[in-house]
Amino acid sequence: EDQVTQSPEALRLQEGESSSLNCSYTVSGLRGLFWYRQDPGKGPEFLFTLYSAGEEKEKERLKATLTKKESFLHITAPKPEDSATYLCAATGGGNKLTFGTGTQLKVEL
Amino acid sequence: EAGVAQSPRYKIIEKRQSVAFWCNPISGHATLYWYQQILGQGPKLLIQFQNNGVVDDSQLPKDRFSAERLKGVDSTLKIQPAKLEDSAVYLCASSRAREANTIYFGEGSWLTVV
């Protein structure tokens, strides 16, 4: 069965303090690794898709990377508006998206 | 481009009552999904449609949940009778195709069963 595990569950950063969120996955025949941002009371908002090990994607202060076993979401010099829950999901041979439980990020002034 | 539309946004019902949620996917998206997200957890797939056919409903509690997608566009998810543990956000999502394509989510329908 496909599994996606995210760590840490919660993370508090000071504004400008860079860090990384981890997503480890066990998916047979990975077809895509996705990162979403979810704000309270909202649906998940798509950030990135990664397809193969070594791939990297960037958007503003966020950079997602992928290895054969895990993905990282690096946050450089975060701002309070980056506070949200970050969800990782993977899809394998069955084309079913399996989500992790998310990392709740809080960036303080 | 309009996003995935869902209604109602919020619903409070008593246990054993019924409720229905509606979803209109992004125009041109053939694949439609219903996910259940319980507070503090990641979304869990309930059912996936390709056009108006069911692709995966393995995690749909079929004794109380049903879903349909008539004419391959809008979809309705129904719960009858509701249980306390059905309290969750019901997220509709859509994508252009089945295979590893980006999935876009609606704002969700928040259900509280009391």
Compare all CA atoms of chain A with the CA of B4 and give the residue at the minimum distance: A43
Q: Looking at beta carbons, which residues of chain A come within 8 Å of B106? A: 43
CB contact under 8 A, B42 and A102: yes
CA–CA separation, B99 vs B109, rounded Å?
26
CA–CA separation, B111 vs A7, rounded Å?
28
Which residues, in sequence order, are bridge partners of residue A13?
Answer: A107
Compare all CA atoms of chain B with the CA of A98 and give the residue at the minimum distance: B44
Selection from B10, B14, B3 nearest residue B114 by Cα: B14
pLDDT tens, position by position, A26-65:
988 888 999 999 999 899 999 999 999 999 999 999 999 9
In this structure, is the dihedral angle defined by the CA atoms of residues B24, B26, B30 and B32, taken in order, positive or negative? negative
CB contact under 8 A, A87 and B104: no
Q: Which of A32, A46, A99 sits opposite B42 (nearest CB)?
A: A99
What pLDDT does B99 receive?
A: 60
pLDDT tens, position by position, B27-73:
989 999 999 999 989 999 999 999 889 999 999 999 999 999 988 89
Average pLDDT of B78-91? Answer: 97
What pLDDT does A94 receive?
A: 57
SS3 A40: coil
Average pLDDT of A75-94? Answer: 92
Q: Is A102 left (phi over 0), alpha (psi -120 to 50) or beta?
A: left
8 A C-beta contact, residue B80 and residue B104: no
Which two tokens mark A76? 């450089």
* Structural domains present in chain B: 5-113 (2.60.40.10)
pLDDT band at B98 (very low <50, low <70, confident <90, very high): low
Compare all CA atoms of chain A with the CA of B42 and give the residue at the minimum distance: A101
- Residue A54 sits at the chain B interface (C-beta within 8 Å): no
Place of tokens 């059905």: B86
CB contact under 8 A, A99 and B43: yes
* Structural domains present in chain A: 3-93+100-108 (2.60.40.10)
pLDDT band at A97 (very low <50, low <70, confident <90, very high): confident
Average pLDDT of A4-27? Answer: 97
B56 to chain A nearest CA, in Å? 8
